[in-house]
Amino acid sequence: MTNIIIVIINMDNFMKKIISIFLCAALLVFYINPIPVNAEETETDILSLESKSAILIEVASGQVIYEKNPDEMLRPASVTKIMTLLLIFEEIEAGNMCFDDIVTVTEHAASMGGSQCFFEAGEQQTVQDMIKCIEIASGNDAAVAMAEHIAGSEQAFVDMMNKRAAELGMVNTHFENACGLEAEGHLTTARDIAIMSRELLFNHPEIKDYSTTWMDSITHKTKRGESQFDLANTNKFLNQYTGATGLKTGYTSQAKYCMSASASRNGVELIAVIMGAETKEIRNSEAGKLLDYGYSKCKTYTDTEVLPDDFSVNVKYGTEKYVPYENCDTHEMVLVDKNPEDISKEVIPYNNLCAPVHKGDIIGAVQYSYNGNLIDEVHIYAAEDIEKLTFGYSLKNVAKKLFMAK
């Protein structure tokens, strides 16, 4: 701040005191209410969100586009089930479980209140139908039944949830149950919800087969016989936003209205998390506002010729001089607040390779930079094995050439 020096001369003492008091008062007002210099509106001011906490990320890169109190620990309600679903799909991917496996509902699972599918103790359903019940109808009983099926007890499954959260870097999350019912200490943040949502969508995109389903049904099979039970998607945002793909809503009287909203447009996938909205209308409106803001910031970049025609990778001490590589015709990425024309590319062959080289080894990279900063990288992989050159191989080669020369 510019120092202001006031020199008061040729005034009587009374006038000097009056001026001094006036100047002190003026400076006090300035320090309390400083005038901003070249102040820019923050994104929070631009969007004017009412919800307690929010975040917007781009799925492919995980880049944060907008945030408001993203690390405030709040109650997530049924948005909790994103972690439950993530563990379910990871168990299936690991081969520990199949979609057709049978799940038996226990007394504990059947006793869950809140949103439920009204299973009876002893009732059996497939894993596939349980996933429908969790994702479409937000069934607490289905979530707990799956937790017990995977881990033997809900508490053991909750331990798995907290362990996975730690592995993903969800540093402000602690789960107490598998479904999101109110429990002391059951807390997470908008940022952490975005992390687990991205993990589910990015690595298990088949979740969208369920999260985009508006209506479905299951068949209850009990001692009294069979009856159809209709499932209606709790996420009404699906019909309110063009490109919406999910992901999970939640509500309790303490958590208020929460949602992890996913959407896909023109190859750009975004996740908007809203926590602590006072009404369902505010939650849905602000999720849409976040996504609109994200799509205004994102552009796609496509490289239609990743590797030049003369690209090659040398290998030392090998049975071949060059390593065959797996070609990559095109590469796409999403740019946030970046001009595609300002992207620079560098092709880097790893020419210090020594045999043996195995198929699938990384033998080079294509790096994309913006203003000198690396923003994306494509690895180049060996397409074949290259064996190490040996004396016996060399002798055999020389003999072969001599024989052909005759």
Closest CA to 136 of 203, 57, 218: 218
Query: E-assigned strands of 187-267?
Result: 215-222, 225-232, 244-252, 256-265
Cα–Cα distances in angstroms (integers) from residue 187 to residues 82, 126, 135, 179, 271, in the given order: 14, 30, 20, 12, 20
Active site annotation includes 78:
yes
Q: What are phi and psi of 126, to 5 degrees?
A: -80, 160
Residue among 51, 138, 197, 262 flagged as catalytic: 138
Active site annotation includes 312:
no
Residue among 52, 68, 81, 289 flagged as catalytic: 81
Which bin fits 363, alpha (ψ -120 to 50), beta or left (φ > 0)?
alpha
Residues 6+ apart with CB under 8 A from 210: 131, 132, 135, 136
CA gyration radius, the chain: 30
Q: How far is residue 391's CA from residue 394's CA, in Å, rounded to a whole number?
A: 5
Q: How many CB atoms lie within 10 A of CB 41?
A: 7
Burial (CB < 10 A; 0-12, 13-18, 19+), residue 295, is: middle
Residue among 78, 211, 260, 285 flagged as catalytic: 78
Active site annotation includes 81:
yes
User: What are the tokens at 187?
Assistant: 């807390």
Q: How far is residue 295's CA from residue 365's CA, in Å, rounded to a whole number?
A: 29
List, by residue number, the catalytic residues.
Answer: 78, 81, 138
